[in-house]
Amino acid sequence: MNTQNSVRFLPSGYSDATRAVAEAMSRTTTCKRLVLMHAWNTKPESRAECSFLVRHTMIPLLRPLLDDMDRAESRLRGVGEGEVGSDVEWTIVCPPGLKNGSVTGLTKSDFHHP
C-alpha cells in the first residue's frame, strides 16, 4: 500500500461550527453569549498530566478531535487562523470528568478574560 500519496483527514467540525456560529452571532443583537462544552485536555501541553493509560490509549485516539477543539477555542480567543475576534461573548466549559457519585464540594476553575 502506497501511503506517500494518501491524504490525512484533519477534523474541523468543532472549529468550523464555532466560526460559523460566532459569525452569525456577530450579525445579531438577540444572541449574547456562545457557550462551548469541550473535553478536558484540549491544550496539547495539558495532556502530559494524564495518567499513563489515558496518555497511551485515549489521547492518541482522540488527538485529532482535541486538536480541533483547541483550534475552536483559539479562534474565540482571537488567536490563530480564522480568528473570530472579540465581537462575541463566550464561555468555554471543560469538565475533567463527570461521575455519578456523591457531591465532593471540590471545584477548580481557570478564568481567562479576553
Run means of pLDDT, 10 residues per run, the chain, 114 residues: 55 87 84 85 85 91 91 80 68 76 73 52
- The overall pTM is greater than 0.85: no
- Tell me the C-alpha to C-alpha distance, in Å, between residue 93 and each of 40, 41, 46, 47, 108: 9, 12, 15, 17, 12
Residue listed under C-alpha cell 456577530: 26
Please give the pLDDT value at position 30.
84
Structure-block grid coordinates of residue 81: 487562523
Q: Are 73 and 80 in contact (CB under 8 A)?
A: no
Query: What are the residue boundaries of the structural domains of the chain, listed by start?
Result: 13-93
Which residues have C-beta within 8 Å of that of residue 97, sequence separation ≥ 6?
A: 40
Neighbours of 113 (CB within 10 A): 3
